[in-house]
Amino acid sequence: MALGKGDQVPQFTATDTNGNVFDSAAIIGKKPLVLYFYPKDNTPGCTAQACSFRDQYEDFLDLGAEVIGVSGDDFTSHQKFTSQYRLPFLLLSDSNRKIRKLFGVPTALLGMLPGRVTYVIDANGIIQMVFNSMLAGQHIPKALAAVKKIVAQ
């Protein structure tokens, strides 16, 4: 069953860009978080999405929010992707798709491609927005608007 608006985010761990174990409890429930799932490093849409989050990263930080990307790529791929495009936020490796399954992220293109879904989570660990679209460029403005709404409350 997919997590949706109003759901508490369960705790999870994953390997981050630096090869360290990331524990979601370090961020979730402490500050707003934009957690975005994307299909694959170094593909046109995923690169555009990551670079758009990079270009607006300061806007998210100014609102007290963090941005984290999740894909099935391993941390070596994430390191290259992060270095090549100067991404200032963490990417998590979900090679076994445990986090995708935990959130209930659907697949796209008849199940052949991991889906692209963005979750905006408030400082209490509650999902405030879920945006599911393969159109990579639409995720950033929607996520930023949702974070602004959380902060304004």
Which residues does the annotation mark as catalytic? 46
**How many other C-beta atoms can be found within 10 angstroms of the C-beta atom of residue 1?**
5
Q: Which residues pair with 126 in a beta bridge?
A: 8
Q: Which residues pair with 13 in a beta bridge?
A: 23
Helix (H) or strand (E) holding 62: helix 57-62
Is residue 16 a contact partner of residue 75, using CB atoms and an 8 Å limit?
Answer: yes
Could you give the CA distance from residue 144 to residue 53 in angstroms, rounded to a whole number? 10
